[in-house]
Amino acid sequence: MHKFIIKKFLIAIFSMMLLTSCKKTETGDIIVSNINIVDVKNGLLIKQQDVIISGNRIKKIIPHDRFNLKSNVILEGSGKFLIPGLWDMHTHMRSYSGSDNLPMFIFYGVTGIRDLGLTNHKLIKHWKSQIEQNVIIGPRIISSGSIIEGSDPSFKSSIVINKLEDVEPVLDSLIAQDIQVVKLFHTIPSEVFKDIIRYSKKRGIVTSGHIPDDMNQITAAQAGLNSIEHLYGIWNTLSNYNNLDFSADEIENLAQVLIENNIYQTPTLVSEEYYSKLGQASKNRKTEQLLFETNQYLELTPKYFNSWWSMLKEQHMQNLTDDDYLQARSSFEFMREITVKLNDLGVKILAGTDVPNPYVITGISLHNELEHFVNGGMSPSDALKTATLYPAQYFNRSDELGSIDENYIADLVVLDANPLENISNTKRIHSVIYNGRLLTQENLRTIKADQLQSLAEYSEDDFDQFIYMDVRRNGVDSVRRKYADIDRSNANAKYKIESYHLVRLSKALKEGFQFEEAKKALEWNLELFPEDEITKALLLEQRN
């Protein structure tokens, strides 16, 4: 009997060895083993899969333990969940430098962004090149290059189109600069607005934007505007908007027109919520501190954003009334209700944040936007589509982005918990794979440590941080006039000024290809610090 048992044991071992030796071997640069894949299209889990990545593409997806796996990098995915990389579909990159803000998108699993203007497109292209060459860490960027406005533009960097005859030559010029999306403002005359959409479509460029006041969402959709930002024009579309109400027939008719014309909505709720939060803060100092000063995510935010936001918050809280706050809260909740209702009717919603509007924090705010969708009644599955599947469809790239499938680009996020059960689990990031490059937990900790170390060099009341966003919008000359009588001895000033502040600002402007503005910053510094030899030398260098 004893010999029989040993014999059976040896046969079993031999059979297992034979079975193993018969397995085929799969190789890859990275293998994610035994992971639960979130199928965002169908809202399902595909459990216990092996994902083989070669280069920047997903080579193969196979049930776990069917093949021998061979790779120098095998990530154990047992008990974890794999989602496509997330997209923030409404951003305005206003970075002091490419490395002080862009890594935060990747840190929070946002592997792609749609940038809708304000920053020099040459600089955007420079950052894209640096990201591709692994000089800096950052997301995939699809950019409009500029905002197109009508007369009296709100932004110095905008391009003005007021006449039909200017539409084609201006767009041809932008397309020659490799823009990938056209961003339109409501100040454009409506006939010009429609013609820009027409010609963009002819040139194969998607459009987005605000809607002129003499149009509404239905006429904009019929004109072919590919995505409507901030639910713009909804007040001209719903007859009872002033009472924050709508009829079933009206909303269903709107949804039908949007769907027929394949129009997306990007509501940016997380940005709209700001004024509601001000209302909460106005009632209680501790609440104000919690929302705006001790928020744990602010530690990773550039000081120039914090300084700018703090100034705006103070101005807004001085000028807004309790009725304003109540209206803001009601408007936010109504916008969320409309967003969810349109989604339920089949309209495609895009997750976007409008970063860096006040207290819209790079990266993490995208997760907050998803939470707003779900808190308003959207399913976690539908919320995930807004940041994965639908962005890819909007860009006409659903054959390689937005899902987890063979031959797709390996933009992926590994989570420690199931986002289909709780959308907040998208924040529980274990690791990120961007364009086939694995960022482990250790790598992510290094990104955070590097960010904290970099930001430690600055203070919110450093003069360059204090004025930076104003300079970016209005230029050095405009800001200089505002601070014509700087008293460096004034201890009550909201900022402190040292000779190196404007030198540092000049360097940042120069790196941003704003050479004339960089020179103006040095000239201003020499006026404030006539004996500063560094400034003199830098000015001499620039003039030569």
Q: Calculate the alpha carbon distances from 177 to 157, 170, 325, 394, 458 in Å.
A: 15, 11, 43, 21, 34
Q: Verify that 397 and 344 share a domain, yes or no.
A: yes
Amino acid letter for position 224: G
Q: What six digits make up the tokens of 229? A: 């930002």
Q: What six digits make up the tokens of 369? A: 């936007």
Looking at the domain assignment, is residue 515 inside a domain? yes
Looking at the domain assignment, is residue 7 inside a domain? no
Do residues 409 and 435 touch, judged by C-beta distance below 8 A?
yes
Q: Verify that 396 and 282 share a domain, yes or no.
A: yes
pLDDT at 312: 94
- From 450, 479, 500, the end of a domain falls on 450
Q: Verify that 325 and 427 share a domain, yes or no.
A: yes
Q: Verify that 435 and 307 share a domain, yes or no.
A: yes
Closest CA relative to residue 114, chosen from 217, 195, 209: 209
pLDDT at 81: 98
pLDDT at 542: 80
- From 402, 424, 450, the end of a domain falls on 450
Q: Verify that 446 and 473 share a domain, yes or no.
A: no
Looking at the domain assignment, is residue 470 inside a domain? yes
Q: Verify that 372 and 289 share a domain, yes or no.
A: yes
Q: Verify that 445 and 468 share a domain, yes or no.
A: no
Do residues 77 and 33 touch, judged by C-beta distance below 8 A?
yes
Count structural domains, the chain: 2
Q: Verify that 444 and 470 share a domain, yes or no.
A: no
Q: Verify that 315 and 357 share a domain, yes or no.
A: yes
Neighbours of 48 (CB within 10 A): 15
Q: Verify that 440 and 472 share a domain, yes or no.
A: no
Q: Which residues of the chain have pLDDT under 50?
A: 1, 4, 9-11, 13-19
What DSSP letter does each residue of 408-465 carry, written as one string?
SB--EEEESS-TTT-GGGGG-EEEEEETTEEE-HHHHHHHHHHHHHHHTT--TTBHHH
CA gap 535, 515 in Å, rounded = 15
CA gap 183, 190 in Å, rounded = 15
| % helix, strand, coil for the chain, step of 5 | 50, 15, 35
Domain that includes residue 436, residue range: 86-144+267-450
Closest CA relative to residue 266, chosen from 507, 87, 396: 87
CA gap 237, 455 in Å, rounded = 45
Looking at the domain assignment, is residue 249 inside a domain? no
Do residues 315 and 354 touch, judged by C-beta distance below 8 A?
no
Cβ neighbors of 488 (< 8 A, separation 6 or more) are 497, 528
Q: Verify that 285 and 398 share a domain, yes or no.
A: yes
Which CATH number does the domain housing residue 343 bear?
A: 3.20.20
Looking at the domain assignment, is residue 179 inside a domain? no
- From 418, 450, 482, the end of a domain falls on 450
pLDDT at 361: 96
477: phi then psi, degrees, rounded to nearest 5: -60, -45
Looking at the domain assignment, is residue 421 inside a domain? yes
Q: Verify that 469 and 446 share a domain, yes or no.
A: no
Do residues 331 and 231 touch, judged by C-beta distance below 8 A?
no
pLDDT at 10: 45
Looking at the domain assignment, is residue 196 inside a domain? no
Looking at the domain assignment, is residue 339 inside a domain? yes
Location of structure tokens 């090149």: 129
